[in-house]
A and B are shown apart, each in its own frame.
Chain A
């Protein structure tokens, strides 16, 4: 018999979900408005503000930069994060306990502090290119997500399967690609997609690491909002929400959305 819940609590919860979803529906409505100013409910329906995104050079450029940064830093984070997670579950005894703390540090240290420190002590001090600093910052930001998701899928991996393959003569690298990787495939896909969206949405690191010709989409959105109050920002927001829906669909297929509730 399920527990009875007071109707007042159910009503309250319904209000909370209206509060959570309502503002995003308002953004969607504002993006479809045929007016030159932001308004809701939309007056007239039009997709012209979506077209406008691609007519503004700054948006075209920053969308491209954001995608590049997200793809490159996600790949690097997977490339170094998968071996690290593997090492931490397979060779736990060899490695010191502080290593797992080290990999949580990017969550503990405020992103703003990381962004500013990379600007001050990498880009400025060593003349490192801004784009490289952005990649480093984003890779560090998403590394904890990658390690957490991959470690979770490795937790249910039976390492004796791998030993069996090796004792039957399979070389280590081949074993990795043919035995280990297929077993943690869903974890890798979910890690990729969560890391990607985290990078695309990042503000606090990127805000310090923009330079001549280099800026990311969220930073460009902030700059645009300070000057114009037209529906372009709303339509870019809707594009980002479409990306969110795609991400959720993939996470649901690979890990199940309840993974995010842990």
Chain B
């Protein structure tokens, strides 16, 4: 009995993930290979369609831009937060956690109010006399990028604060007292030690952007279709489940490939493991 105690306790959760996640997702991917016209017909159709290729490239492009912006903003912010005195640090962490725990619909909706035709930004710009007519900011790639950066900066900050906190003040001061200027300290001491955290943050933000639905739906609409919104449209509007499954399979492959590549990179670049 004791030999199987571990399995007995772990089996309900194991079964749920196997039957509720692994099996259905595997079945979805499997059906994409079983269509008439050869095993890769659906993929040929996907990559043969100029529109779908554009959506895929746009999704990769938007996700990369969001990741880079979130990395820069998140890194600077996390560095300042990690060096802040205790009470201020707590307040700043609360200010970062609050948006993170607020749902994606609410946070995207906020940008709908700000960027709308009669939104805050347009009316402010008109009142200041900078523009005469309201600008079309919604349903552009820019609005999707801004809202996604907003969505993911807290995640990046919280991922990096822990990593940067672990760098002792003494190390930074030692670098300075040995004659390094602040730029050299940054590039040769702080940055290399933060690389594993930066990689984790980049993976979270890239995969999150790549597979997002609510933000591109609300702020991009039909004009800025991304993989998530295209998949939903194929599945629930045109009821082309084979096409939706193909998009699902491509999303799974790209997500897992990126996580694995970044894990390998993190292991290689981590200065502590050399």
Contacts and interface: CB of A to CB of B under 8 A. Distances in A.
Contacts of A140: 16-17, 20-21
Nearest to A198: B101
Interface in B134-181: 150, 153-154, 158-159, 161-162, 169, 172-173
A160 B218 CA distance: 54
Interface residues of B, number: 89
Given A1-B169, A113-B251, A240-B106, A17 B95 contact: yes
Given A116-B244, A140-B17, A204-B228, A95 B111 contact: no
A20 B104 contact: no
A107 to B, nearest CB: 9
Interface stretch (A43-51, A56-64, A83-91): A83-91
A108 B103 contact: no
Interface stretch (B37-45, B49-57, B86-94, B265-273): B86-94
Contact of A111 (B5, B9, B103, B211): B211
A248 B97 contact: yes
Interface string B14-50: 1011101111110110000000000000000000000
Contacts of A113: 25, 28, 211, 248, 251-252
B213 A203 contact: yes
* Chain A: number of interface residues, binned into ranges: 35 or more
A23 B111 contact: yes
B58 interface: no
B232 to A, nearest CB: 6
B73 A207 contact: no
B109 A221 contact: yes
B128 to A, nearest CB: 16
A147 B103 contact: no
Contact of B76 (A12, A237, A258, A261): A12
A119 B161 CA distance: 39
Interface of B: 3-10, 12-14, 16-18, 20-25, 27-28, 73, 76-77, 79-81, 83, 85, 90, 92-107, 109-114, 116, 118, 120, 150, 153-154, 158-159, 161-162, 169, 172-173, 182, 207, 210-214, 217-218, 228, 231-232, 235-236, 241, 244-245, 248, 251-252, 255-256, 259
Given A13-B92, A109-B25, 15 more contacts: A12-B76, A20-B96, A20-B153, A40-B120, A80-B16, A84-B10, A84-B12, A109-B252, A113-B252, A116-B245, A197-B101, A218-B105, A233-B109, A261-B158, A261-B159
27 contacts: A3-B169, A10-B80, A13-B81, A17-B77, A23-B111, A23-B114, A24-B98, A24-B106, A84-B13, A87-B8, A94-B7, A95-B10, A99-B14, A109-B21, A110-B210, A112-B213, A113-B211, A114-B21, A116-B28, A200-B103, A201-B101, A203-B103, A222-B217, A233-B109, A234-B113, A248-B97, A257-B90
